[in-house]
Structure 1
């Protein structure tokens, strides 16, 4: 059943009572969530909780065995990932997944490919990305595979921004990064939030994710076990004990 959103934010993305199976193994059990237009929503949980599967379901990388995924009023479950991307969704995947043999500049242009006719706007957006990430500007002709993990995460974020997606889906942006790079990544995400970007964020680092998010969902073993305003979840004893390191 679709969750009732008590806020005034209009639903942009709805995941409605979704089951997902990998063969005989069930990964999601009746998962429902909503993302309002201009809202940042975080999906939290430990390993094998189902949070990345939820994101992959939205992106068309896996198909639900039951339930619906609705984007701007259109059911998109069953569409391929390229078809979902064509509807205005951008992705920052887990592990960055840059094109290693291509240059930084070429990787960024791949993000802009769906809007390749907008040449002036793309030039402006490239300048914005290089201003945001000076390291990428310095390494624009360098092969992406030779960048550090933190630099590749910057590139993945820049590539998603070049897509100018209505919705940006981000999977584990802090994974494997030093605290310095985590701070740099989230500084950019806070800027995107301030600009009104709609974001669905999957993250194990619950503390920083809850600082960024408007609302959050907590998954365990493929089930939504908690949902609410991020500030309320930050104060929840269960969340504090399980995810925030409280005694």
Structure 2
């Protein structure tokens, strides 16, 4: 049995209809089309499969009947459309993949009888069309989760960056204080008569950044930059304290 698969050239569909790739086998062509929302007969009447020799249809939906066990019951049915037993094959795929919706398999007969192979192709294209829908749903959920995760990360970073700003302000003032004290000690040691200015306070005139308006990637970059600034200020403080100990012989105030 010779057969080959072709990639479907259908453009992405935005109407909740999902198509398999085609299967060609001895001049017969098969394609599966699934929709979780379209009515069965609507799917079977699509213009693109109007010329097909057979449009095998099956559908599965929730039943209004109540189950004895309290679980959900389903109604499942089919239309062979002249391809005897084929509808049951599509039913089997719908039931096995536990989906609600309608699936049609279009077959263009090529003049050569395929025997049982036709049922294998019918199941294959049905399964692929349904899987494309499942993949689409999973992708949509993944996108939604990413949006939610990004929003949560942005909120965390907005709070963190504001806290980093406060820490930077405190450490910068402390570094200036230590360095000024060191300068005074060195000035006294060198008997310099020139007066030494007071340590300059951190400049508070700079307007605060509204972090909530910035994109996530910018916030991530700023977090790294502020962590680097904090590390640099801590090194400045440590260096000034070490030099003060060397100059005065006293441990720095705790």
TM-score range, shorter chain: under 0.3
Provide the TM-score with structure 1 as the length reference: 0.21
Q: Which structure has greater strand proportion?
A: 1
Q: Which has the higher contact order (CA 8 A, sep 6+)?
A: 1
Provide the TM-score with structure 2 as the length reference: 0.20
Q: Which structure has greater helix proportion?
A: 2
